Chain A
Amino acid sequence: MLRISLLLSACLVGVVQAQEVPRTSSGKPDLQGIWQVNGRVGYDLEAHVARHDMPPGLGIVAEGAIPYLPAALAQKQANFTERAALDPLNRCWLPGTPRVMLLDSPFEIFQTDTELALTFEWQQVYRVIYTNGEASLYEGIESWMGHSRGQWEGDTLVVTVKDFNDRSWLDAAGNHHSAGLQLDERYQMVDADTINYEVTLTDPAVYSKPWTIRAELQRQHGKPRILENQCQAEKEEANGDFERVDFSWYPAPVPADNMPFNAAASNPPPLPAVGADIRRLPNGKPDLSGYFMTDAGGANYGLEDTPGGFLMPDARGVVKDPADGQLPYQAWARAERIQRELPHRGYDDPTAHCFVAGIPRSLYVPSPFHIVQTDNNLVFLHERMAWRLVALNRTQHLPDNVRLWQGDSIGRWQGDTLVVETRNFNGKGWHNEVGDIMSHMQTMVETFTPVSADKVIYRATVSDPIPYTQPWTIELPLDRMADELLEVACMEDNNDLQHLKDVRDEYRAQQGSN
């Protein structure tokens, strides 16, 4: 009876699959949307009873047990025993693949004919699955998340993932792999709200034969977007390693003795002309997709024209408004900004902790980024392993009390210029390494104007009544190039932070003894 009913369900699934899955304009199943794995399957891939740190589960290993080689099984058991200390996820390190797909945390898929971006709420991690038929430029370069290449076999997306390191785990129970791991993933949409996700793991140094996990991804309804879960930042805030800044973090008020903020003083020069030869998408909109490097002019070391110093480069100055190139600081904020250049303040820069660089800083940290553009969204994938969503299909920002490192961005086309409005900042970021100030009251209008086939002029006009007296505007050229992103696993090897903390603590000790 059970067998008949299973057979019947399989037939029904087949019918549903043929009729009801959403499709892209090119006829492929449209996997776009917000997803999360069904069930708490990521704690232990194998069947297990409840433990103090994980719920029970029947497991998702098709073979029942992972076919470890003897030494690898011993390693797994040692990992399990010491999991609280050894699990990379407990240290907020990159989760690896396929573990990232199985977390109790949502992710969003963006899809074009040549690539898919998977953006995860957990730590703002992302994956890019290239479906353009080209091999990776960086085959053999080890990474936590692997290099993904996909193709469609009928209605199934088949993805090969390789070039791993041996540091990530498969789950919270210490199941592991070597750098020789290869994944063969299969994404099969069975109805509009369900993707069957199957992964075969091949790693001859660790397993006696390939083995398979099967899980179900469920569409998450009712979420306007996914949020941020900055594991390391939350941990450091909780234990005091990253200290609150009372004047900038949400919900600090405008200081009572501030000069009035003169919003009407904003006077940026006219936008550049759109080029005649710009690339366009089939829908006629400018094509801003691809890999970009910013001609940043040292903006990460000063938005104003700033001479370099020992181990610090010059900054050419990128402020276009006010016309004198100076940021319109409140007097107290200028004094704080100058203090931030001192060696003992280096520890206070959130990027020294490997936290998200924020906006607009992510555009000019000296790292490339890749834009995936669909009709409804642009998603910026920054090499420092953080994604940022610009929604074209929303008109309402998040509720005012939901504050994010990168804010909440809504875009629209104004002719051939992309205009992006961002608010809901948490005020925890720095604009650059010399500590140009942002607060949670920052609101921002960015423009992306394509001026030639592969050059975009980027503007950001920042209005922030806590540290400034009027809005200011920076301008940077963005150059599209033929390259692809590598991975930056920042906090995993961040040896500098302790040195910076030592410098700060030494300074504080001296101040305390004086």
Chain B
Amino acid sequence: MKKTVCHLLLCAGSLLAASGVLAHHSFSAEYDNERPITLSGKVTEMKWSNPHGWIYMDVTGDDGKVTNWALETSAANGLIRRGWRKEDLPAGTVLQVEGWQARNGSSTGNIRSVTLSDGRRLFAGTSNQGAQEEK
């Protein structure tokens, strides 16, 4: 009955298809399909919470101004089951995030996908695409 926990360094490839999405219509209420975003920056904090986690990330704009974005993820438990641990994403980790901005125009977003600078994918996020993969 032992489960082999997929370790981050050993199975990064399998994460490409993994999503573990807990989509919620709250997302379609909160986020704007017409505001897709692609952000690159450095993690300042990740909240490994459920039912949804949050990545906080400093993003430097074209004008040099740094904005701290709050980016909503799927449940942390899905990440944990795929072998990710808090220590794998320390502050300072460089990420590229694709997703959608909040309807109210704030620096808040819903994550579709997260890619680390070495090409590894964290998870497909809370997107419809990710939810399809879940099945």
Chain A positions within 8 Å of B, measured between CB atoms, are 132, 134, 137-138, 140-142, 297-298, 301, 308-314, 316, 341, 343-344, 346, 349, 352, 354, 366-367, 383-384, 433-434, 481-484, 486-490, 492-496, 499-500, 502-503
Contacts and interface: CB of A to CB of B under 8 A. Distances in A.
B56 to A, nearest CB: 12
A13 to B, nearest CB: 38
B2 A313 contact: no
A314 B132 contact: yes
B80 interface: yes
Interface residues of B, number: 41
Contact of A483 (B29, B31, B81, B102): B81
Nearest to B20: A366
B132 A311 contact: no
Contacts, number: 124
A311 B126 contact: yes
Contacts of A495: 52, 54, 72
Nearest to A135: B2
Contacts of A496: 24, 26, 30, 52, 72
Given A366-B22, A482-B1, A493-B50, A311 B77 contact: no
Interface of B: 1-3, 5, 21-31, 33, 47-52, 54, 72, 75, 77, 80-81, 85, 100, 102-104, 110, 126-128, 131-132, 134-135
21 contacts: A137-B5, A297-B135, A298-B131, A298-B135, A301-B23, A308-B132, A310-B33, A311-B27, A311-B110, A312-B128, A313-B23, A314-B131, A346-B28, A354-B51, A366-B21, A366-B22, A484-B3, A486-B81, A488-B51, A493-B49, A499-B102
Most buried by A among B47, B126, B135: B135
Contact of B80 (A311, A434, A482, A486): A486
A313 B28 contact: no
Given A310-B33, A311-B126, A483-B81, A349 B52 contact: no
B128 A308 contact: yes
Contact of A434 (B25, B27, B51, B85): B25
Given A297-B135, A298-B135, A308-B131, A483 B23 contact: no
